[in-house]
Amino acid sequence: MKSYTFEDMKKMNRTTLGDMVPLELFRTIRLIGLNQGLPMGGKSTTLTIGRKIGESLPVKTIDELLKIFTDLKIGIPRIIHKDERKLNIVVDDCFCKGLPTLEEEKMVCDLEGAILEGALSKMFNSKVSVKEIKCNVSGHEHCEYEVRL
């Protein structure tokens, strides 16, 4: 075997600890490891990682993408605006929910946005850009992404 696919990730055989890891581990990797551990908040690295993950997801429609986001417990996404060029996706119960508030305008869910970007770019076979415009950690009521199609 040369490399793994998303389907391989579901193959598990952990008899004692099972198939879940705690949210604090995911947060630690995301925020302390990537965001605080890499130069520039890990901006470009996180984008590369997220896009690659998004491209690897077995989704063919936006509904399937939103469902897998929920299934993976990243958050519960819903579309609040849609036109030919733009899509606004709100994420409730995001992995960052409940963390202490950081300084204003600080957003930390860039990896999750890049996952959407990778999946949507592959789905539409064109360049899609996703930007986080609201985040729990900057005091907003939820996280929100603006998607440019």
Binder to Zn ion among 135, 144, 145, 147 (CB under 5 A)? 135
CA atoms within 13 A on the CB side of 132: 25
Choice between 6 and 115, CB closer to Zn ion: 115
As a whole number of angstroms, the distance between CA 92 and CA 70 comes to 10
Query: What gap in Å lies between CA 69 and CA 56, rounded to an integer?
Result: 13
Count of residues engaged in binding Zn ion, rule: CB under 5 A: 4
> Which of 66, 143, 145, 147 touches Zn ion (CB under 5 A)?
143
3-class DSSP state for residue 27? helix
Nearer to Zn ion by C-beta: 112 or 128? 112
Q: Give 146's DSSP letter.
A: E
Query: In the bound complex, what is the minimum distance in angstroms from residue 59's beta carbon to Zn ion?
Result: 21
Only one of the segments 4-12, 18-26, 37-45, 105-113 lies at the binding site for Zn ion (rule: CB under 5 A); that segment is 105-113
| 108 contact partners, CB below 8 Å, separation of at least 6 | 30, 31, 35, 96, 102, 135, 137
> Is there a contact between 53 and 46 (Cβ–Cβ < 8 Å)?
no
Stretch 55-94: interaction string toward Zn ion, x if CB under 5 A: ----------------------------------------
The nearer residue to Zn ion, 106 or 127, going by C-beta atoms, is 106
Q: Are 119 and 130 in contact (CB under 8 A)?
A: no
Q: How far is the CB of 88 from Zn ion (least distance, A)?
A: 14
Does 115 bind Zn ion (CB under 5 A)? Our answer is no
Phi, psi of 88 (to 5 degrees): -110, 125
The residue ranges that bind Zn ion (CB under 5 A) are 96, 109, 135, 143
